[in-house]
Chains A and B, each alone.
Chain A
């Protein structure tokens, strides 16, 4: 079996713009899910609202496309009602960190056994390119026409501080690493958070001097800093440039978790 079998073939091609990285992330997530050997009947995909959140609609399993920001609230309900189900959440930066911010920190605090894949395109893609809590300083959006002046949220740091068991960050360029990180997230009991930096050529790239999709991919690639390298730089007392994104496995621990299937609960 391959990840292609998890797609609803009758629904493809999907509605994402040409070059939108969301499709890449769905591929990687489904490849990881496929390698777990789970049954389709036991797997549930949940999402909120946004371009990213349309993902479950293209997958053959049961899924919930809920209200804006409430993906984690619904996913919590599914998991607590039937801990035997494998629950994977697709969400966007606006969905997770703006309107859904509180659900996010409390799901991390409770450490519920979910795997959350956040497609962070640093913009509200679906509604026409408004600034989101992760829009970097200086970037143009329809609500920040002179460049954003606010500091951006670091979602992975937030998840670590709030108590998630597994946290990793990759980009839509690092497909193999991303697949492996999602797999580790699926295997880890407790809350697993995988943040993926992704290009939105239509609403982010176009306004921020990325004329071609590939230009933005090149930028993302050049501005990814491996965690190991970051640690080495810190050890040597060097400064980390502000515009770099630290990628890699950022946290792995075993805090007590909620919603574990009966066999997984340790005595």
Chain B
């Protein structure tokens, strides 16, 4: 699973940067198209829910998602890794 911030919803309040035990959310630096400075994710693969959700079969931690007042934080399924065939031209 992959952590993601929905840029169409986030209002840049930075509350998420205060609650994550791993400090995955960092204050952003650049405004997006809507003029909102969306937080950046620092190595999001450390998130408990990303790592263990499928193993335990239930939501884990999720404090950032409950705290985000704008329902902008969610998890997306990752595409399974696909080995690519590399065509080498001689």
Contact = CB atoms under 8 A, between A and B. Distances in A.
Interface of A: 2, 4, 7, 12-14, 16-24, 27-28, 31, 172, 175-176, 179, 212-214, 217
A22 B74 contact: no
B39 to A, nearest CB: 12
Interface string B12-30: 1111011100000000000
B49 to A, nearest CB: 11
Contacts of A27: 65-69, 71
Contacts of A212: 14
A21 B18 contact: no
Nearest to B69: A23
Given A2-B59, A4-B74, A21 B69 contact: yes
A54 to B, nearest CB: 13
B18 to A, nearest CB: 5
Contacts of A18: 11-13, 70
Interface residues of B, number: 21
A16 B14 contact: no
Nearest to B75: A2
Interface of B: 8-9, 11-15, 17-19, 59, 63, 65-72, 74
A13 B12 CA distance: 13
The 6 A-B pairs of least Cβ separation, nearest first, read A23-B69, A19-B13, A18-B11, A175-B66, A13-B9, A18-B13
Given A19-B14, A217-B18, 14 more contacts: A4-B71, A7-B71, A13-B8, A13-B11, A13-B70, A16-B69, A19-B13, A19-B69, A23-B70, A27-B65, A27-B66, A175-B19, A175-B66, A213-B15
Contacts of B68: 23-24, 27
B71 A214 contact: no
A121 B74 CA distance: 27
Contacts of A2: 59
A2 B62 CA distance: 11
Contacts of B72: 13
A214 B39 CA distance: 14
Contacts of A24: 15, 66-69
Contacts of B19: 175
B8 A31 contact: no
Contacts of A12: 9, 70-71
A16 B59 CA distance: 27
Given A213-B13, A214-B18, A20 B69 contact: yes
26 contacts: A4-B74, A7-B71, A12-B9, A12-B70, A13-B9, A13-B11, A13-B72, A14-B70, A16-B69, A16-B70, A18-B12, A19-B11, A19-B14, A23-B68, A23-B71, A24-B15, A24-B66, A27-B65, A27-B67, A27-B69, A27-B71, A175-B19, A175-B66, A175-B67, A176-B63, A213-B14
